[in-house]
Amino acid sequence: MKNKYFSNLENKYYYGISRTFWHISAVIAVIGFIVGIVIIGWSYLPPSKKEVFKAPIPEKTAYPPQASVQISEILNALPKDKLKIEEIKNNSNNNTPEVKQEVKQHARDTTGLSNFENSISNLKNLIPFKDFSTLWRGNGYYIYPRGEAIYKVKKLEEHREFVTTSPGLLEQIEERTDSNEFKSYEEKAELVEKYNKILGVFNKSNRDEIIISLIRFKNRDYKKTISSLNSLYNILQFYGKDKLVSAFENNISFLLFNKNDGIPLLKFETEILNNFSKTERFSASNIIKAEYTNYYNNNIGGIRENTLNFIPFLKKIDTVKQSIALNFYYEIYKSKNGNRRQQIQQIDNDYRKLIRQIDADFNASKIEAEEAFQGKKQNKFTWRSDSLKIIGIALGTILLITLILLLLSMIRNVNKLAQAMLENNKSN
């Protein structure tokens, strides 16, 4: 009776509670499996990224009004002495030393060679070989392989050879354009055509010096150089013949040494120089360049505005005093607008600083948004990795619980069968 009591107690509580416990554990494992699947699906959805907008660029603060210069102020300032006038004009001429460049050899690209040869032919028409043989041939000396006496008798070139000690013009063009990184013959052909246009402005006697300066000229890159040569050609049209060489030297030096490319100022000068008498244009051009470089920090807008205000006065000024009148105009303007120039400079500096700050804030916001986006991606990756582990644990748990429940069920059934057999024996 006592064994029966304990057997019932074991079946009722031990096996019953165990089975309930394992059923609950299985349900929890299944829920974990489902949650893991949901999290994995969520982790593959692209995370949201914060949209960043650049702050609008504000308008620049208006410049303070300028104090105008009156024609009477200019006329009163003009000197009466002709020597003083010439001294002022002469002081306006600025010659800049020539830049020396090393010649480097580069491989040849023969594309466009025929165009280059045509340009060289045009150059030979402007600088004929018969008049500039040394320039074309280069410096050197003759040797006489069969003796100088035979050459003196027969006068045939086959009896002597020219040994070059310095390159001729064609070789200089090829070497210099190569060293300036203008390697293709298409570029060389266009450059030589620009040289030809400029040379056509000068007397033949000056062209040998001009071509050497042109060959050595380079303004940053190929496009800038071509644009510079165009501007140079255009401005040379405004000078008198007696000033052409000096004007060429001054303008090519300005293009070469201006911290910007110098092209905008030359274009502006071509717009206004025809308002000056021809004899005054050279000095006026030099005064404008000096003012632009020394007082306007190469700000083309400022020098343009100021100079255009002066142009209407030219009709009331003696034609031989126009350039120095421009010089005095600039001086009077600076004395009356000194504070304004500083204020304009401050406004420009503040505006540039504001734009740089807006750009910096925008870039910082983009970096911050990108970091947040990458953080979200990393977070989802971490959740996905953890979910895969949970799914693996849940599947393992379900399999283990299934085996345990199956084992418990088998034990219980065996016990019931044994008890039934025992009761059956007792009854018999």
pLDDT tens digit sequence for 342-362: 787 788 888 889 889 988 988
Please, which pLDDT band fits residue 167 given cuts at 50, 70 and 90?
confident
Encode pLDDT of 210-223 as tens digits.
999 999 998 888 89
Question: Which of the 8 DSSP states describes residue 123?
Answer: H
Distance CA 401, CA 33 (A): 14
Q: What share of the chain in percent tops pLDDT 90?
A: 29
Distance CA 398, CA 25 (A): 8
pLDDT value for 370: 86
Please, which pLDDT band fits residue 96 given cuts at 50, 70 and 90?
very low
Q: Average the pLDDT over each of 79-83, 133-137, 211-215, 239-243 and give the range with the smallest value.
A: 79-83
Distance CA 220, CA 256 (A): 9
In whole numbers, what is the pLDDT of the chain averaged over residues? 82
Q: pTM higher than 0.75, yes or no?
A: no
- Beta strand ranges found along 144-253 (DSSP E): 161-164
Output the CA torsion sign for 172, 176, 179, 184.
Answer: negative
- Work out the number of other CB atoms within 10 angstroms of the CB of residue 360: 10
Encode pLDDT of 237-249 as tens digits.
999 999 999 999 9
Please, which pLDDT band fits residue 85 given cuts at 50, 70 and 90?
low
